[in-house]
């Protein structure tokens, strides 16, 4: 849930066309694959087969069985009459996991709390209940505050005393409804005298967007499109906020997005790969999980900006509609081919817009036409398809910014007071938080953007609801 990309992966080759022979990571597995392709698509796959790292593409002779898709539109209308008709699906897909790693932490705090909160967590002790995430970055525990009984998440990482922890520095600066909150941080000793364990106390969320979406697939269904809209809106709000602080997450994926299905609140988490970008400073191009990696990174760009997060968000939204990742490549070059199969072959101008230093001698791509987005995204909502098509664009400068995406008509339903009343009764989410913009956010909006994003039943000065709902 709180995992970040592995830091031990080999560095990606900058020049497309000269990939590493080793397969850097395993291909993401999905439970169902839809092979509803036309004869033209088959010809397209044949054209690009010589460009693949492997000898063959997936065989198309035996299509997989299509999952059963429930009519959630009819279900939604039924729910308007009976608010108890929908129960959180996560409650029916519970995982029984035996608690492990029980230990009581009584170590005194070595860090001053980063922000003033309602409670002083530096005076508390913590008991780890079970492991909820682990990897090369460290371990994440579901823990309990002994003094209050509150459930929190504690991320425990090995820290060299000679260096500062960049993730901690970033978390200390963040304060937003849709970004994970730092409650406290403290050190505990390790076996090596030159190292210590940094323990970061954060909000606990029962599920990630990955596990929640997976629960629908296991039930042979897809997430209701209204929930896709609510989660997409909150996710865009999170990257809009961090972009104003010049912070780039650089590893947005469903695993790093926390959700609470009880009231459908979303928070972006795991800032282990995040960085404050400075225009004059180069950055590594081998970053972000492959299926959500922006094409400019694949082309070896080192002077990228926050638009790489926008691409990742577009991939996440498409995945919520389709039930599986949109671009499934098993190497850097293969990932680019998966993108080309949807967006078409980028022209030379587009390539240089992604990486001005790219060696055009390596530009040897099969000429593939772009597909119709209506055939790519599994929804009948033309506004949703239009939004995704504007988020997944080659050129970072023409790709939608977070604020442009928030202004998109796709989210007008959330700004309609009458519909919001009905949705709140069904899904029990916080209406006010959707439009509770901080001064930092509103000060960077134009008058037109503010008028578009903040409904007239919200006070523009304080973004509080001024008309009684209900």
User: Which candidate in 251, 330, 334, 436 is catalytic?
Assistant: 251
Q: What whole-number distance in Å separates Cα of residue 25 and Cα of residue 27?
A: 7
Q: Where are the alpha helices (DSSP H) in 268-396?
A: 295-298, 307-322, 332-343, 348-354, 373-376, 382-391
Tell me whether residue 36 is one of the annotated catalytic residues.
no
Q: What whole-number distance in Å separates Cα of residue 322 and Cα of residue 460?
A: 36
Q: Is 156 marked as binding a ligand?
A: yes
Beta partners for residue 103, in sequence order: 128
Instruction: Single out the residue of 239, 299, 233, 224 nearest to residue 274, CA to CA.
Output: 239
Q: What whole-number distance in Å separates Cα of residue 325 and Cα of residue 270?
A: 20
Please state at what angle helix 209-218 crosses helix 307-322, rounded to 10 degrees: 20
Beta partners for residue 128, in sequence order: 103, 143
Contact yes or no for 14/282 (Cβ under 8 A)? no
DSSP tag of 123 = G
Q: Strand locations in 211-368, DSSP E? A: 247-248, 257-260, 265-268, 275-276
Which are the contacts of 123, defined by CB distance < 8 A and separation ≥ 6?
Answer: 147
Beta partners for residue 139, in sequence order: 134, 156
Q: What whole-number distance in Å separates Cα of residue 414 and Cα of residue 228?
A: 12
Q: What whole-number distance in Å separates Cα of residue 449 and Cα of residue 400?
A: 14
Beta partners for residue 268, in sequence order: 179, 257
Q: What whole-number distance in Å separates Cα of residue 163 and Cα of residue 388?
A: 40
Phi/psi at 396 (5° precision): -60, -30
- What is the residue whose two structure tokens read 């087969």? 49
In Å, what is the CA distance from 323 to each residue of 64, 69, 135, 377, 382? Answer: 14, 11, 25, 10, 18
State the Cα angle at 431 between 446 and 402, rounded to 5°. Answer: 35
Q: Give the chain's end-to-end CA distance (angstroms, integer).
A: 36
Q: Which two tokens stand for residue 436?
A: 């509770």
Phi/psi at 450 (5° precision): -65, -40
- Please list the active-site residues: 251
Binding-site residue ranges:
156
- Known binding-site residues for ATP equal 156
């Amino acid at each position: 849930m709180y995992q970040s990309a592995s830091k031990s992966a080999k560095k990606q080759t900058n020049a497309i066309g000269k990939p590493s022979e080793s397969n850097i990571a395993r291909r993401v597995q999905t439970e169902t694959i839809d092979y509803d392709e036309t004869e033209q698509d088959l010809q397209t796959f044949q054209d690009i087969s010589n460009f693949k790292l492997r000898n063959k593409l997936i065989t198309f002779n035996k299509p997989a069985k299509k999952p059963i898709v429930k009519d959630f539109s009819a279900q939604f209308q039924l729910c308007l009459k009976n608010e108890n008709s929908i129960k959180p699906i996560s409650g029916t897909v519970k995982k029984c996991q035996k608690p492990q790693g029980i230990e009581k932490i009584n170590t005194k705090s070595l860090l001053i709390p980063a922000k003033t909160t309602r409670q002083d967590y530096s005076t508390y002790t913590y008991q780890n209940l079970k492991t909820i995430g682990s990897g090369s970055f460290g371990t994440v525990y579901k823990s309990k505050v002994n003094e209050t009984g509150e459930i929190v998440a504690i991320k425990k990482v090995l820290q060299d005393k000679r260096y500062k922890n960049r993730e901690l520095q970033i978390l200390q600066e963040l304060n937003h409804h849709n970004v994970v909150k730092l409650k406290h941080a403290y050190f505990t000793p390790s076996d090596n005298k030159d190292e210590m364990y940094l323990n970061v106390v954060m909000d606990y969320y029962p599920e990630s967007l990955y596990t929640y979406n997976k629960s629908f697939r296991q039930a042979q269904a897809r997430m209701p499109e209204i929930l896709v809209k609510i989660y997409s809106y909150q996710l865009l709000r999170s990257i809009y906020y961090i972009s104003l602080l010049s912070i780039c997450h650089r590893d947005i994926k469903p695993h790093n997005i926390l959700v609470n299905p009880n009231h459908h609140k979303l928070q972006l988490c795991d800032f282990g790969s995040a960085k404050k970008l400075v225009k004059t400073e180069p950055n590594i191009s081998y970053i972000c999980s492959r299926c959500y990696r922006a094409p400019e990174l694949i082309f070896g760009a080192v002077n990228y900006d926050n638009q790489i997060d926008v691409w990742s968000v577009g991939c996440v939204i498409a995945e919520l509609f389709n039930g599986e990742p949109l671009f499934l490549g098993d190497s850097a070059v293969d990932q680019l081919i998966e993108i080309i199969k949807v967006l078409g072959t980028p022209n030379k101008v587009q390539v240089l817009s992604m990486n001005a230093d790219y060696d055009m001698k390596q530009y040897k791509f099969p000429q593939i036409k772009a597909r119709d987005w209506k055939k790519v995204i599994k929804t009948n909502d033309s506004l949703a398809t239009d939004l995704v098509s504007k988020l997944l664009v080659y050129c970072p400068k023409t790709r939608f910014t977070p604020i442009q995406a928030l202004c998109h008509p796709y989210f007008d339903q959330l700004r309609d007071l009458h519909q919001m009343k009905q949705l709140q009764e069904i899904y029990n989410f916080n209406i006010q938080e959707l439009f509770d913009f901080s001064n930092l956010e509103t000060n960077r909006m134009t008058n037109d953007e503010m008028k578009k994003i903040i409904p007239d039943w919200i006070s523009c000065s304080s973004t509080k609801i001024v008309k009684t709902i209900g």
